[in-house]
Amino acid sequence: MGIDPNFRTSRQVTGDHSGHKVYAPADPPPVPKEKALGIHGTIVGVDFDLCLADGSCITACPVNVFQWYDTPGHPASEKKADPINEQACIFCMACVNVCPVAAIDVKPP
């Protein structure tokens, strides 16, 4: 199972992080509720609760959309690929295609 492709309409915005929206975690989340981080980004959404931090999206992205973000104590991984530069996305889908857990969804604004 990967990222919820309807998260932009099916989940509440719960905050803002580094200039992008954060959407509520899944109910029930794939990790314990107290550790759930939700989905970061709108154009390029990364489900932080699925992300395993293998770095393939960071390597594949030709326009440097992602940056590592530390998430100490998270059961899936202690860092995440944060879409801090999602406005630069050229919609090549390289990140989506290489993510081993389908934690990324890209949609033009």
**In sequence order, what DSSP letters do the residues of 35-63 get, joined into one string?**
G---EE-SSEEEETTT-----HHHHH-TT
Please report where in the chains the tokens 């999206």 appear, as a residue: 57
**What count of residues does the chain have?**
109
Q: Extract the annotated binding site for Zn(2+).
A: 17, 20, 40, 82
Q: Extract the annotated binding site for [3Fe-4S] cluster.
A: 51, 57, 99
Q: Extract the annotated binding site.
A: 17, 20, 40, 51, 57, 61, 82, 89, 92, 95, 99
CATH number 1.10.760.10 is the correct assignment for the domain at 7-106: no
Q: Give the span between the Cα atoms of 109 and 91, in whole angstroms.
A: 11
pTM of the model: 0.96
Rounded to a whole number of angstroms, the distance between the first and last alpha carbons of the chain is 24
Strand partners, 74: none
Q: Where are the domains of the chain?
A: 7-106
**pLDDT tens-digit readout, 31-75:** 888 899 999 999 999 999 999 999 999 999 999 999 999 999 999
**pLDDT tens-digit readout, 11-32:** 999 999 999 999 999 888 788 8
Phi-psi region of 20 (alpha: psi -120 to 50; beta: other; left: phi over 0): beta
